[in-house]
Amino acid sequence: MPDHDSILAITNAIRDGEQSAVEVMSDCLGRIKSSDQTLGCFRETYEERALGLARMIDDRLAKGDDPGPLSGIPIAVKDNMVTDFGRSSAGSRMLEDYHSPFTATAIEKLELAGAIVVGKTHCDEFAMGSSTENCSLGTTKNPWDTRCVPGGSSGGSAAAVASQLVPAALGSDTGGSIRQPASFCGIVGLKPSYGRISRSGLIAFGSSLDQIGPMTKRVEDAALLLQTMAGKDRRDSTCADVHVPNCLEKLDEPLKDLKLGVPKDVINEHNDDLVNTIIQEAIDVYRDLGAEIVEIDLPLAKYAVAIYYVISAAEASGNLARYDGIRYGHRADLKPGEDLFDLYAKSRSEGFGDEVKRRIMLGTFVLSSGYYDAYYKRALQARRLIKQEFDQVFETCHAILGPTAPTPAFPMDEMQDPLSMYLCDVYTTLANIGGHCGISIPAGFAQREGRRLPVGLQLQGKGFDEARLLRIARMFEMATSHHDQSPELITTNKS
Ligand code: GLN
């Protein structure tokens, strides 16, 4: 029996005939059935389709065919990516029964390589949030402590991988939504460089920031998924036509003269003490591995959250204009005498949740005449300066090391004030603003009040330098054992 958690182990077992794809898929669906009532990772599953595809993989293998490097791997997909089967709802009532006529390119590429989508996972509505509590269609719990949030917005995907319901999942990251839940759930989460993976079929939030990326237990699995999904796509003109390296093959090549940049205020009083300790230990691990630690300065980094919330809200207000109850989305019932304007207003009032409405209002405000120059234009200017700052820093080091989030997972319902929730993104939004890549990997555990909660380490790399970033992440993974730990499997006894 292969591990439940490594893609390579599972697909090799299927290819070598140790286990059939149908057996792997049935096990996976069984685990979801027994645990997901408690965890709430999945919005829906596609049992019949998944087993049918698994059978096809087995038939092809029996005939001597090669169904691809991901043969028979069950994959969960965040609910904001569309598929031409099942529903794609972005965690919103607005799209509660939306059936897409096409499938996202990233998902299509994974399935062409032999992977099988098992289901969609809960996320904050339209990917706006950091706890998955803004989801209108369900609530996900952190498998390490079900009183806590899994992070967000890709919380369902992170919790599903952490609890070994699936070996891998897709998330999307506009300001940290892959890396922060990966940190909270103790898994690997990679935000690729902007343009690395097609956004076709990703329900848009902030189009200049959004990227799809892998969430896995191991760095090598993230490498394999990344290289499978990456590459130019004629359905997304912002998807870059740049060489896709074989990240997996290069993963263990030694890195000579590795220089890691550490921001001079990386350990600070805004972080949880335990996060500070774990980051200091991570720096020591790299130093012991022979890396040179260079102190860096990113004076504009303190503006990241402000810039991010102006730009992402502005883009969201435009992207969400299509949900008017006519072209897309929930349509309200009208009373006699109500007109088209009432239809728009009622449909949008009923379909969107509070956080989405807040962003639409903020976005519309910063784009309105009189405020455009003061907020939106300034945010764009500041964004360019931040990008320049990163370009300069990446000339002095190969990657930047720091925390993924200032705290471990927090209790559900604790974060009532939206602004406090926005501050969870202080370290992650930078990579989206700059367009470069970032990864969160398990770096230790915080013990508090009898709770044992994972803490992630964030590494940021130059744009399109994922192959090296993954190697640097892998060094840490090989030197530590945090990734080997999993929460106890939660099962619901239904007999
Ligand atoms: N937490 C951030 C927000 O609420 C990031 C979301 C994301 O990356 N999708 O906007």
Q: What is the DSSP string of 318-368?
A: HHGGG-SSSSSS--PPPPTT--HHHHHHHHHHHHS-HHHHHHHHHHHHHHS
Check: CB of residue 305 under 8 Å from CB of residue 423.
yes
Any ligand 1 atom below 6 A from CB of 174: yes
Contact (CB, 8 A) for 483 and 218: yes
Residue 312 Cβ < 6 Å to ligand 1: yes
Ligand 1 site-directed mutation target among 126, 130, 423, most atoms within 8 Å of CB: 130
> Which atom in ligand 1 lies closest to the alpha carbon of residue 421?
1
Taking residues 137-145, report their average pLDDT.
Answer: 97
Residue 9: phi, psi to the nearest 5?
-65, -40
Q: Which neighbouring-strand residues pair with 221?
A: none
Residues 6+ apart with CB under 8 A from 23: none
The amino acid at 249: E
Q: Which residues are catalytic?
A: 78, 153, 177
How close is the Cα of 211 to the center of ligand 1, in Å? 11
The Å distance, Cα 289 to ligand 1 centre, comes to 34
pLDDT over 80 at 494, yes or no? no
457 lines ligand 1 (CB under 6 A): no
The C-alpha atoms of residue 54 and residue 19 are separated, in whole angstroms, by 12
The answer to whether the beta carbons of residues 413 and 131 sit under 8 Å apart is no
Q: Which amino acid is at 41?
A: C
Provide the pLDDT for residue 114: 98
Q: What was the pLDDT predicted at 486?
A: 86
Residue whose C-alpha is closest to residue 155's, from 488, 443, 412, 482: 412
Residue 448: both structure tokens together: 């508090």
Is 2 a residue whose pLDDT tops 60?
Answer: no
Tell me where in the chain the CATH 3.90.1300.10 domain(s) lie. 7-260+401-421+436-494
- Please name the residues in contact with 5: beta carbons below 8 A apart, sequence gap of 6 or more: 161, 164, 167, 217, 218, 486
- d(C-alpha 467, C-alpha 483), whole Å: 20
Atom of ligand 1 nearest to the CA of 130: 1
Q: For 223-236, how does the pLDDT look when each residue is reduced to its tens digit (9 = 90+)?
A: 999 999 999 999 99
Q: How far is the CA of 154 from the centre of ligand 1 (A)?
A: 9
What pLDDT is recorded for position 481?
A: 86
| CA–CA gap between residue 117 and residue 133 (Å, rounded) | 24
127 lines ligand 1 (CB under 6 A): yes
CA nearest ligand 1 atom 4, residue: 129
Q: What is the pLDDT, as a whole number, of residue 349?
A: 98
Give the side-chain half-sphere CA count within 13 A for 244. 20
| Residue 492 pLDDT level (bands cut at 50, 70, 90) | low
Q: What's the pLDDT at 1? A: 38
Cα of 30 from ligand 1 centre, angstroms: 32
Whether the CB of 151 sits within 6 Å of ligand 1: no
Give me the residue label for tokens 């949880």. 272
Nearest residue (by CA) to ligand 1, atom 5, is: 175
How far apart CA 305 and CA 301 sit, in angstroms, is: 9
Q: What is the reported pLDDT for 82?
A: 98
Is the separation of the CB atoms in 161 and 144 below 8 Å? no
- Which single residue is written with the structure tokens 């390589």? 113
Domain 7-260+401-421+436-494: homologous superfamily in CATH: Amidase signature (AS) domain (3.90.1300.10)
Amino acid, single-letter form, for residue 141: K
The CA-atom distances, in angstroms, between 287 and each of 154, 185, 291 are 32, 26, 5
Please report which confidence band the pLDDT of residue 482 belongs to, taking 50, 70 and 90 as the band edges.
Answer: confident
| Nearest of 456, 477, 457, 425 to residue 173 by alpha carbon | 425
Residue 495's pLDDT is 37
Mean pLDDT of all residues in 82-92: 98
The mean per-residue pLDDT over the stretch 223-252 comes to 97
Residue 490 has pLDDT above 90, yes or no: no
The pLDDT assigned to 484 comes to 82
Q: How many CB atoms lie within 10 A of CB 282?
A: 28
| pLDDT at residue 80 is higher than 60 | yes
With a 6 Å cutoff on the Cβ, whether 177 touches ligand 1 is yes
Q: What is the pLDDT of residues 304-318, one digit of tens each?
A: 999 999 999 999 999
Q: Backbone phi, then psi, for 260, in 5-degree steps?
A: -110, 130
Check residue 477 and give its pLDDT: 97
Summary mean pLDDT of the chain: 96
- Alpha helices, H only, 73-134: 105-112
Q: What share of the chain is helix, strand, coil (3-state, %, to 5)?
A: 40, 15, 40
Q: Is the CB of 153 under 6 A from ligand 1?
A: yes
Q: What is the pLDDT of residue 483?
A: 77
Token pair for residue 54?
A: 């698994």
> Which is it for the CA torsion 356, 457, 217, 197, positive or negative?
positive
**pLDDT exceeds 60 at position 81:** yes
* Position 429 pLDDT exceeds 60: yes
| 313-317, 336-340, 479-483: range with lowest mean pLDDT | 479-483
Share of the chain above pLDDT 70, in %: 98
H/E stretch holding 295 reads strand 292-296
With cut-offs at 50, 70 and 90, classify the pLDDT of residue 185.
very high
Residues 6+ apart with CB under 8 A from 400: 260, 261, 262, 263, 296, 393, 459, 460, 461
State in Å: Cα 347 to ligand 1 middle. Answer: 24
- pLDDT tens, position by position, 367-416: 999 999 999 999 999 999 999 999 999 999 999 999 999 999 999 999 99
With 50 as the cut, is the pLDDT of residue 141 above it? yes
Q: Does 130 sit in the ligand 1 pocket, CB within 6 Å?
A: yes
| The pLDDT value given to residue 3 | 54
The preferred substitution site among 78, 174, 358, 423 for testing ligand 1, maximizing ligand atoms within 8 Å of CB, is 174
Task: Find where tokens 């390296």 sit.
Answer: 245
* Closest ligand 1 atom number to CA of residue 425: 1
Establish whether residue 128 lines the binding site of ligand 1, counting it when its CB lies within 6 angstroms of any ligand atom. Answer: yes
Taking only the tens place, the pLDDT of each residue in 150-164 is: 999 999 999 999 999
487 alpha carbon to ligand 1 midpoint, in Å?
25
pLDDT in the model for residue 488: 79
pLDDT in tens, 12-55: 999 999 999 999 999 999 999 999 999 999 999 999 999 999 99
* Tokens 């043969």 sit on residue: 71
Beta bridge pairs of residue 197: 230
> Rounded to whole angstroms, how far apart are CA atoms 209 and 282?
28
Query: What's the DSSP call for residue 271?
Result: S
Count CB-CB contacts under 10 A for residue 19: 17
pLDDT at 143: 97
Cβ of 183 below 6 Å from ligand 1: no
Q: How far is the CA of 199 from the centre of ligand 1 (A)?
A: 16
Q: Which atom from ligand 1 is nearest to the alpha carbon of 173?
A: 8
Whole-angstrom distance, CA of residue 3 vs CA of residue 376 = 49
The size of the chain, in residues, is 495
Residue 69 pLDDT > 80 = yes
Of 7-11, 252-256, 333-337, minimum mean pLDDT range: 252-256
182 in ligand 1 pocket by Cβ < 6 Å? no
Q: What percent of the chain has pLDDT over 90?
A: 94
**Cα–Cα separations (whole angstroms), residue 197 to 251, 433, 447:** 20, 17, 37
Q: What is the pLDDT of residue 450?
A: 80
Label residue 491 by pLDDT band (50, 70, 90).
low
**Mutation pick for ligand 1 pocket among 177, 315, 319, 415 (CB with most ligand atoms within 8 Å):** 177
482 token code pair: 């945090």
Residue in 80, 309, 425 to alter for ligand 1 test, most ligand atoms within 8 A of Cβ: 425
Q: How far, in Å, CA of 396 to CA of 174, rounded?
A: 26
Centroid of ligand 1 to alpha carbon of 226 (angstroms): 21
Task: Map tokens 């090989």 to a residue.
Answer: 478
Compute, in angstroms, the gap from residue 214 CA to the centroid of ligand 1. 16
Residue 481: CB atoms within 10 A of its CB come to 9
- Mean pLDDT over residues 64-79, rounded? 97
Q: Given this model, what pLDDT does residue 5 score?
A: 66
Taking the complete model, does pTM exceed 0.75, yes or no?
Answer: yes
Cβ of 65: how many Cβ atoms within 10 Å? 12
- Judge if the beta carbon of residue 22 lies within 6 A of ligand 1: no
